[in-house]
Chain A
Amino acid sequence: MASPASILLVGLGGAGCAMVTRLSAQLPGEVAVALLDTDARALAAGGPGANLQLGRAQTRGMGTGGEAALGLASAEAEEPALRRLFAGVPVVVLVTGLGGGTGSGAAATVAGLAAEAGATVLAFATMPFSHEGERRMRQANEAAAKLGQKCHGLVVVHNDLLLQQVTPDAPLSESFAAADAWVGGALRGLASAFAPGALIAVDPAALRSLLATPGSPTLFAFGAGQGEGAALKAARAATDCPLAHAPGAVAKVASLFVHVAGGPAMTSTEAFEAVAAVRTRFGGETSTILCARLEPALGDRIEVSVLGASLPAPKPAAKPKKGAKGDDPAQPIFEFATEESMRRGLFGGTPMTFIDGQDVDVPAYIRKAVRLPPSP
């Protein structure tokens, strides 16, 4: 009998299900898969593992048509089934695309239920392309804020960034493949970390201690290297990983989880070198959990995945006292940089300005998905 799955990979909504389905082929046995969607056809198309159709009564098997409220109601209606799904699972990885109806509406609820069931919840959320317009972006931003409160770790993947990773004339599938490579690499890393037979082994509880507090800013990076000095190349690729450099990503974190996987040729010296390189870039002063394992299939290739978390930003004061002065928007308030404020920089607190359906306060190079020359 197979050992009980230590990680449950949940795809939520159209985008999430699509990504999970693409990933499921390359996942190790420790990862169980579940697909959640309101669109019956998307689920019927197949996919491995447990499938759960949300909101049978609300949507009658159709999608939500981009209505977040409908997505929320659909998830709430399936609460008992979701609780059963999450019962006894130590780690839940939720993959979803924000901006649409099911993802934006249901993500926070699903993550909340999983957390209540006692699981450590790590969410990967993709944000819509800038070209998808104001409404989806707003919906996605609201959903990301809510989701961040509910799950232990949240990694936001900007679709705009995906475009920057490939040459302008590359087919669309290539940029999605790049996203799959990152998330898939991380999941493989996470999953195999807990499997027996690692050079330096950890158990799922390590991840729990890393992502102990809900709502903590999460750092995620993945890199691979091949040939001579593969470990350092992989570490370099991980530190240069666009996910870690996205505007709004966390630059330094307190706790790090570094997973190094390589072929039989990898030595522990190499593994430690890679970890040291990652640490100089990302911090990890409080604790660094190292995990290394040999995978013959990798050959002379070495993969480094990094997951990190800091303490969450303090909550804003609930209510100003009576008679106290109201919020002065022009007053420079000391606050932690948020996803939104970092992406829009100095215009973080100002209303969005739309021209041709794009928020023009977001830097042009991000919207046009142009890859910048590397820094010296």
Chain B
Amino acid sequence: MTPKPLPSLIAVIDIGTHKTASLLGQVIDGKARMLSFSERRTEGVVKGTVTDLEKLTHCVHEVVNDIERGSGRAVEQVYLSLSGPAAEGERVKGFIAVPAHDGKVTAKDVADAVASAKRLEPPAGRSTLLYMRQPTMLDNRAVGNPVGMTGKRLEVNFWRVTMEEGNMRMRVGMVNGLSIRVRDFILAAHAAACATASDADKQGGVLVVDMGAGTTDWILYYKEHILCAGSIPVGGEHLTNDLSVALRISRETAEDLKQRFGSALHRETDVNQTIWKDGDKGVGDQQFNRGTITQVLSLRYQETIDFVRKDVLRRLEQIFPGHAVRLDQNMIPSGVILTGGSANLADAAEAVQQVMGVSARVGVPDFENESLRKPEYAGVVGLMTAALADAPPPVVRPRGFLAQLKALFRF
């Protein structure tokens, strides 16, 4: 009789420019149940780039301590999110001529094709972080599983994400400092998509835009697979900064005004609408023109969305050179899903609809815990979903008495 597998733990850390969130769950029957959650203000990251490793390390250690204390369990390995321009994506493909006389594809042929794709070296000084499956082509037809089908040329495609070696070692080392291993990296936009987009969305085609504080990451699904992904080094902090420069106010005040009065659309009715900073009209209270706030924010927000649109089209042109690719409702029937903290900006979905010309909605992660059902938590919640789907933690089987004894003395 085989011993029943123990429920394994799954821990994810989402390091953002503004906050670092971590979630610890237990995998029961292929589903993750939340054990504990922790969130802290990130320090040492600007525009998605690490500027102070010491502070960031401290911050990561704090959240790990939090989830360990909250659950009473020790974390052995974590999944890290990957966002920002440091992670560069590209499409790699490998192909083989099907060797069998009758043209029947075997599992070994697929493995050979995959190996040939993965043989492609990343650019010098970068190392590969992850491969994501893209459609497999048999004689230029997209097929789900080619094994058993007949054809001449088998082609497999991957979306490969690479990162500069030093940068990757730094991130891994940061976690290893706590005697925790990095189990895998997961693309932040992919995680956000896993939390908010349904299988039907991905089947048809959907663009997920995860606009955090420092960066805006996007990922495009088409016919079930990841077609391409990218990142723009502009985020919610730029919204705040624009406001603070325009109104000559502190970052905190700007952040507060952005949340309370900001909008991604500028309407004529906003102009000459006077709003008060504190509302008590007392000493130190300031009044502003609401039109100024919405004008500044809408310009920045719509520009950023336009940058995303251009970036998507640029990537698509690389993948399908010579084709006039359009980002319209036919390409992505499910439209755009907005996640991340900046999705909370009022009228965000309407603004995206205007700029991109496709339907848009704010994505709220579907999660058991109600406090995490907010767009800014799509990343961390999705990490767990994505981790289970892509690279589940190894199943731990209970060890016998002798094996445990052996482990005690093994150094």
Contact = CB atoms under 8 A, between A and B. Distances in A.
A330 B307 CA distance: 28
A372 interface: yes
A372 B241 contact: no
Interface in A335-376: 342-347, 350, 353, 355-356, 360-361, 363-366, 368, 370, 372-376
Interface residues of A, number: 28
Given A345-B241, A347-B241, A350-B46, A368 B299 contact: yes
Contacts of B240: 346
B59 to A, nearest CB: 12
Contacts of A372: 246, 291-292, 295-296
Given A368-B303, A370-B295, A353 B233 contact: yes
A196 interface: no
Nearest to B276: A376
A344 B251 CA distance: 13
Contact of B47 (A347, A363, A375): A347
B307 A361 contact: no
B251 A346 contact: yes
Nearest to B303: A364
B271 interface: yes
A-side interface mostly:
loop
Contacts of A374: 289
Interface in B281-297: 287-289, 291-292, 295-296
A360 B295 contact: no
Given A347-B47, A372-B296, A375-B292, A360 B274 contact: no
A365 B307 contact: no
Interface in A222-275: 247, 251
Contacts of B43: 330
B296 A363 contact: yes
B307 to A, nearest CB: 6
Contacts of A171: none
A364 B246 CA distance: 10
A329 interface: yes
B234 to A, nearest CB: 5
A158 to B, nearest CB: 13
Contact of A355 (B242, B247, B307): B307
Contact of B289 (A329, A346, A347, A373): A373
Contacts of B55: 330
Interface in B48-102: 51-52, 55
B-side interface mostly:
helix
A355 B300 CA distance: 13
A364 B245 CA distance: 11
Interface of A: 247, 251, 328-330, 342-347, 350, 353, 355-356, 360-361, 363-366, 368, 370, 372-376
Given A364-B242, A365-B295, A376 B289 contact: yes
A282 to B, nearest CB: 14
Contacts of A353: 47, 233-234
A168 B295 CA distance: 15
Given A342-B245, A347-B47, A355-B232, A363 B300 contact: yes
B44 interface: yes
Contacts of B232: 355
Given A329-B51, A330-B52, A365-B242, 7 more contacts: A251-B248, A345-B245, A356-B307, A360-B307, A364-B303, A373-B289, A375-B287
A244 to B, nearest CB: 12
Contacts of A375: 247, 287-289, 292
Contacts of B300: 363-365
Nearest to B48: A353
Interface in B256-301: 271-272, 274, 287-289, 291-292, 295-296, 299-300
Given A330-B55, A373-B271, A373-B272, A361 B292 contact: no
A360 B238 contact: yes
Question: Which 9 A/B pairs are nearest by Cβ-Cβ distance?
Answer: A363-B242, A373-B291, A364-B300, A330-B52, A345-B241, A364-B299, A345-B245, A376-B274, A364-B303
B217 interface: no
A121 to B, nearest CB: 29
Most B C-beta atoms less than 10 A away, residue of A329, A356, A364: A364
B288 A360 contact: no
Given A353-B47, A370-B295, A372-B295, A363 B245 contact: yes
B164 to A, nearest CB: 15
Contacts of B46: 347, 350
Interface string B308-346: 001000000000000000000000000000000000000
Contacts of B287: 375-376
Contacts of A350: 46-47, 51
B376 interface: no
B14 interface: no
A345 B244 contact: yes
B155 interface: no
B277 to A, nearest CB: 12
B109 interface: no
Contacts of A343: 245
B39 interface: no
A251 B299 CA distance: 25
